[in-house]
Amino acid sequence: MVLAAGLGKRMRPITERIPKPLVPVVGKTLLDWGLDALTEAGVQHAVVNVHHLADQIEAHLAGRANPHITISDERAGLLDSAGGIVKALPSLGTEPFFILNADTFWLDKGPSSLVRMADTWNAGEMDILLMLASTDSATGHSGSTDFLVESGGRLRRAGGDPAGLIYAGAGIVSPAIFRNAPATSHSLNAYFDRAIAAGRLYGLVMHGQWITVGTPDAIAPAEAVVAGHASQRQ
């Protein structure tokens, strides 16, 4: 599930003419950075929700062969992160699935972070597994930390603790956590907190560079990091 329906208010004035997921970084849209990562991890089907300038996203995705894309249409009203997933559940199936934010991406150092997450997933212990990034491996992040990792990989809220880690905008969730949930606007944060209370929220730290592009002035630093990463690989 790729969450691509947001308004991108902090990215204005760019998002007055193009939706945030289609903002390019080194010639590749933010949305394609995420979809390419899913394809490289072996994902064959992705659901992408749309709202703001939805026609542009649909037209762009029509040119992709992999993964196969299903559009979840939220033109009638934004449903936030959790509501959007609930609406899309009929297309997502009954097995655990990846969730990705469409405005972040990462450059792996070593094996694919998504593959590592899939290998780490344990349905007997986990309701949600989040990808995490350290502050020193993040570009474009201006907020505080999100989670602290406890023994065995369980997470609790960091409350801004400098020793904490950043939620890197990717995860694996069990669809069972959305049982009887309404397809109305509500946030994934409530599900994170429920999983913490049940001892079933886990995290895995990605290896490499994590990049978030939330404002126009974040594009240039993102492109510099991508260029540096490419030169190191040559």
Domain ranges within the chain, ordered by starting residue: 2-233
**Average pLDDT for residues 56-77, to the nearest whole number?**
93
pLDDT at 232: 61
Q: Please state, in angstroms and rounded to a whole number, the distance separating the CA atoms of residues 6 and 35.
A: 17
Q: What is the pTM of this model?
A: 0.92
Distance, first Cα to last Cα, the chain: 33
Q: In whole numbers, what is the pLDDT of the chain averaged over residues? A: 92
Res 229 pLDDT > 80: no
> Mean pLDDT lowest for which of 66-70, 172-176, 223-227?
223-227
Q: Name the band, by pLDDT with cuts 50, 70 and 90, for residue 14.
A: confident
> For the purposes of burial, counting CB atoms within 10 Å of the CB of 59, is it exposed (0-12), middle (13-18) or buried (19 or more)?
exposed
129-147 b/e (C-beta count within 10 Å ≥ 16 → b): bbbbbbeebbbbbeeebbb
Q: Tell me, which fold does domain 2-233 have in CATH? A: Spore Coat Polysaccharide Biosynthesis Protein SpsA; Chain A (3.90.550)
- Predicted confidence at residue 45, as pLDDT, reads 95
What are the tens digits of pLDDT across the range 84-105? 999 999 999 899 999 999 988 9
pLDDT at residue 233, as a whole number: 57
